[in-house]
Amino acid sequence: MQLAKMIVLGSLEVLEMGSGYDIYQFLDKNQISRWTDIQKPSIYNALRQLEKECAIEQTKQIKVGKYPEKVVYQVNEKGRKLFDSLQEEAFLGIYPRFFGFKLALKFNRRRTLEEINHFGNKAISLIDEKLKDMDEYLESLPKNSNEWKRNLFFIDHDRRLYNAEKEWIKEALEQIKKESVILKNVL
């Protein structure tokens, strides 16, 4: 997952156009930077990469006083396709950080209820597979051995995290069905 690119493209989708500073302010205002831990240098680096890849275009340059020139960008068709691909990946989970589905929803502008339900159910299936893999790994170890006890300790923590994410996704899907306003970003 190219997290910084996804966040920059998603921000520009919501803002319709903006500079690196505008994106940083948007992320800070909406507390996205708090739980993704994205820093200013990552935003500017992603902007440079996306421009080099022709996924965004400069729309204007603004000079205010003694400050450096501010370059304003917008997403083009190639950028929208890249964002859709990254958003799909995020909907299916960014593990072990557990914010992929939330991030994909936060930047949603075009996905339908059916698409979001599909991704949510697929994410839940992937979580179930991860939980099953953990159980199978534990079963492969000699029961009550030191290795089994040590792994059980850490796997129990992982299980709790995965189950909490699974429950949150289920609740999010139910909430979205009730309130379609969540589908269109209202930040």
Q: Are the CB atoms for 123 and 101 separated by under 8 Å?
A: yes
- Kindly tell me the sign of the dihedral angle through the C-alpha atoms of 119, 123, 129, 133: positive
Per-residue model confidence as pLDDT tens for the chain (187 residues) = 589 999 999 999 999 999 999 999 999 888 888 778 889 999 999 999 999 999 999 999 998 888 888 999 999 999 999 999 999 999 888 766 778 888 898 888 888 889 999 999 999 999 999 999 999 999 999 999 999 999 999 999 999 999 999 999 999 999 988 876 555 554 4
- pLDDT at position 187: 43
Distances (CA, A) of 170 to 105, 136, 158: 13, 25, 18
- pLDDT at position 92: 87
* pTM (predicted TM-score): 0.77
- pLDDT at position 174: 92
- pLDDT at position 184: 56
Contacts of 130 (CB under 8 A, 6+ apart): 95, 162
- pLDDT at position 30: 84
Which tokens in the block code for residue 172?
């999010």
